[in-house]
């Protein structure tokens, strides 16, 4: 009898000692009273966790009940949980108690979208559930249509539930958890919806605006900027869980590849935009070669991203993107120091991007806690960058307008062109290209060697003057001037000296035409012409004789040091009302031929021009 009594006593003592000594996890994870808002705000003080490496026999244990008490559970101690990429499985445990006198309902919220495997275990007196989800499963597996992970927790008064979360991911693991009431969830979701709506809406508007500017103006950096903002928005859209929720909820593979693909797009587009905006055009420079290498790397990673594992893709693309961002920042500083004024705004915008990206990357890779705060910081940095970049483009557009206006004013003085469009026509980006083409066309009317007008200009000018002569009855003198023995000069001294003589002739012609409407033209090798509006044959002969006297008295120094005298012959014809340009040109050419045949260094006048002049004199 005594033996039975001692055995019973031993059993009771053993049982009491079992209940008197809580497990390691129970010691580290005190119950949280979900009905107390202050305790909910300090959820991480009531959270414990454990990391189980792949080498552990408990790596694939499916419930905390199967985990031995010897494992080293740790308390979160109020700190956000974040872990770098590894093969570990992570367990979280929270004991939730309803200390109120009425039933309660809460959501346990995990605010980090890119997690491969998330398994909620709810063990309550009235509810036992396991929810298996993650971005390796279709979106509807979450049970609640929300971009992050939610576990509904319903407890009667006085009840306690044990919540365990089993997690694994091929990337970093951030665990920003919160226990909220439905009203708190709706309130925070509404605020975030407004914030994210403004952010992504602004990115979309700026992207479309830059794309329209590209379509209207053809300026490439507008396209690259739109490309960059769209890629950046898609990356954050995917990281925030929105892309999986709204774009491809039934395609987990695309949900995982969207992040590295959009990251590669960002690296490529920001590199192309930086090259175009900072005018790094000389392909022989080190900077240009560096940007070319970065573009090739971006294209390569963009094509490889869908085929690489998530871990490999992120570990490869993220460093490349950071290198691109830092290189563009330093290139912007260099271009600013080289005098590119709008580069200072680029540098300022990129400095916010560098700080925001480093902060966000460290949080996303699990090296910094509080991922949600860094996500907001990143959005703020991107918003600042977008505003500053677009302001920088406005400044560059303004500088281009000023330069084009200077070119326009200079062209009006040199080419006597009346520009009808003023500064207001340059406000739209498409006018940039239009005005640049107009300047190129104007420059194409000049002879490259002598600076005189060329044959193209002469043909157009003669058409205008022929119409004017027909309308007003005023004559137009046309003088053909040709250098004597020019082939001999080239054969004797070389073409270099021949070019020097042609330049000297051009200077003589320009010195001897005084009126604004008189034009000197080089229309052939050594063939020149003078177009003299409102001039008869006698006036044209005076100008021609002055030209011949001037060139005769202006010897040119030959390569051997000798002074070589250049002479010219001239033929004059008059373009009168009713005459054709071709006929007038032919008569002037015949007069020039007679001057050559008559001994050169002289002027011959078309007989019809003499008769026309005599007739006009008789009328006067």
How do residues 33-81 score in pLDDT, each as one tens digit? 999 999 999 999 899 998 888 888 777 777 777 777 777 788 888 888 8
Q: Which of 540, 583, 570, 577 lies closest to 465, judged by CA?
A: 577
Tell me if the pTM is above 0.85: no
**Which pLDDT score, from 0 to 100, does residue 127 have?**
83
Please state the separation of Cα 406 from the chain's center in Å.
27
Is the same domain home to 125 and 208? no
Is the same domain home to 169 and 263? no
Residue 366 in 3-state DSSP?
coil
What pLDDT, in 10s, does the model give residues 497-552?
A: 888 898 989 999 899 988 888 999 998 888 999 999 988 888 888 998 999 999 99
616: its two tokens: 């006009």
What percent of the chain lies above the pLDDT cut of 70? 89
The boundaries of the domain holding residue 570 are 455-619
CB burial of residue 229 (10 Å; 0-12, 13-18, 19+): buried
**Which pLDDT score, from 0 to 100, does residue 404 have?**
78
CB 548 within 8 A of CB 556: no
**Residue 431 within a domain:** no
The C-alpha torsion from 194 through 199 and 200 to 205, rounded to 10°, is 110
**Residue 438 within a domain:** no
**Number of structural domains found in the chain:** 3
User: What does the alpha-carbon distance between residue 617 and residue 84 come to, in Å, rounded to a whole number?
Assistant: 102
Find residue 497's DSSP bridge partners: none
With 70 as the cut, is the pLDDT of residue 431 above it?
no
Find residue 564's DSSP bridge partners: 556
Is the same domain home to 482 and 614? yes
User: What does the alpha-carbon distance between residue 526 and residue 589 come to, in Å, rounded to a whole number?
Assistant: 14
The residue-averaged pLDDT of 310-334 equals 88
**Which pLDDT score, from 0 to 100, does residue 345 have?**
83
- The CATH number of the domain where 82 resides is what? 2.60.40.2380
CB 113 within 8 A of CB 239: yes
Is the same domain home to 177 and 202? no
With 80 as the cut, is the pLDDT of residue 400 above it?
no
User: What does the alpha-carbon distance between residue 410 and residue 433 come to, in Å, rounded to a whole number?
Assistant: 18
**Residue 116 within a domain:** yes
Cβ count within 10 A of residue 412: 13
CB 35 within 8 A of CB 100: yes
Cβ count within 10 A of residue 282: 8
Contacts of 55 (CB under 8 A, 6+ apart): none
User: What does the alpha-carbon distance between residue 438 and residue 475 come to, in Å, rounded to a whole number?
Assistant: 31
Mean pLDDT across the chain: 83
**Residue 162 within a domain:** yes
Is the same domain home to 386 and 276? yes
Is the same domain home to 551 and 477? yes
Cβ count within 10 A of residue 101: 8
């Amino acid at each position: 009898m005594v033996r039975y009594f001692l055995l019973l006593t031993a059993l009771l003592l053993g049982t009491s000692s079992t209940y008197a000594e809580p497990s390691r996890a129970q010691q580290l994870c005190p119950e949280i009273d979900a009905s107390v808002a202050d305790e909910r705000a300090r959820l991480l003080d009531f959270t414990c966790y454990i990391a189980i490496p792949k080498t552990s026999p408990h790596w694939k244990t499916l419930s905390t009940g199967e985990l031995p008490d010897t494992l080293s559970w740790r308390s979160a101690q109020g700190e956000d949980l974040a872990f770098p990429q590894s093969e570990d499985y992570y367990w979280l445990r929270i004991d939730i108690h309803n200390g109120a006198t009425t039933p309660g309902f809460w959501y346990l919220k995990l605010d980090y979208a890119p997690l491969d495997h998330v398994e909620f275990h709810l063990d309550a007196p009235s509810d036992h559930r396991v929810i298996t989800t993650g971005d390796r499963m279709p979106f509807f597996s979450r049970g609640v249509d929300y971009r992050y992970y939610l576990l509904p927790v319903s407890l009667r008064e006085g009840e306690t539930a044990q919540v365990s979360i089993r997690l694994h991911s091929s990337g970093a693991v951030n665990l920003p958890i919160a226990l909220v009431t439905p009203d708190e969830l709706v309130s925070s979701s509404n605020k975030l919806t407004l914030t994210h709506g403004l952010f992504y809406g602004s990115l979309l508007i700026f992207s479309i605006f830059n794309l329209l500017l590209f379509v209207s103006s053809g300026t490439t950096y507008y396209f690259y900027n739109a490309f960059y903002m769209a890629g950046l928005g898609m990356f954050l859209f995917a990281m925030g869980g929105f892309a999986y929720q709204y774009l491809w909820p039934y395609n987990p593979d695309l949900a995982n590849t969207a992040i590295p693909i959009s990251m590669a797009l960002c690296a490529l587009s920001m590199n192309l935009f930086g090259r175009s905006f900072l005018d790094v055009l000389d392909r022989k420079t080190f900077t240009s070669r560096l940007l070319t290498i970065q573009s090739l790397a971006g294209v390569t990673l963009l094509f490889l991203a869908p085929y690489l594992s998530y871990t490999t893709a992120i570990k490869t693309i993220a460093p490349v993107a950071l290198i691109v961002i830092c290189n563009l920042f330093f290139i912007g500083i260099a271009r600013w120091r080289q005098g590119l004024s709008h580069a200072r705004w680029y540098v300022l915008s990129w400095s916010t991007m560098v700080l925001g990206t480093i902060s966000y990357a460290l949080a996303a890779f699990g090296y910094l806690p509080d991922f949600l705060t860094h996500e907001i910081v990143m959005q703020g940095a991107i918003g600042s960058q977008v505003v500053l970049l677009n302001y920088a483009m406005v400044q560059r557009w303004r500088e281009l307008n000023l330069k084009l206006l200077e070119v326009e004013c200079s062209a009006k003085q040199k080419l006597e062109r009346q520009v009808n469009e003023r500064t207001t026509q340059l406000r739209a980006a498409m006018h940039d290209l239009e005005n640049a083409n107009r300047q190129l066309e104007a420059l194409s009317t000049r002879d490259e060697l002598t600076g005189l007008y060329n044959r193209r200009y002469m043909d157009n000018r003669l058409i205008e003057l022929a119409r004017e002569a027909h309308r007003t009855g005023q004559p137009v003198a046309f003088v053909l001037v040709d250098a004597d023995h020019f082939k001999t000069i080239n054969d004797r001294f070389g073409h270099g000296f021949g070019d020097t003589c042609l330049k000297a002739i051009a200077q003589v012609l320009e010195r001897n035409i005084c009126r604004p409407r008189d034009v000197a033209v080089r229309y052939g090798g050594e063939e020149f012409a003078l177009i003299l509006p409102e001039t008869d044959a006698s006036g044209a002969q005076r100008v021609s004789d002055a030209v011949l006297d001037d060139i005769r008295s202006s010897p040119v120094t030959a390569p051997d040091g000798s002074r070589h005298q250049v002479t010219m012959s001239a033929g004059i014809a008059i373009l009168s009302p009713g005459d054709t340009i071709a006929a007038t040109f032919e008569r002037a050419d015949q007069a020039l031929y007679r001057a050559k045949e008559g001994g050169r260094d002289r002027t011959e006048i078309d007989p019809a021009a003499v008769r026309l002049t005599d007739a006009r004199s008789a009328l006067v």
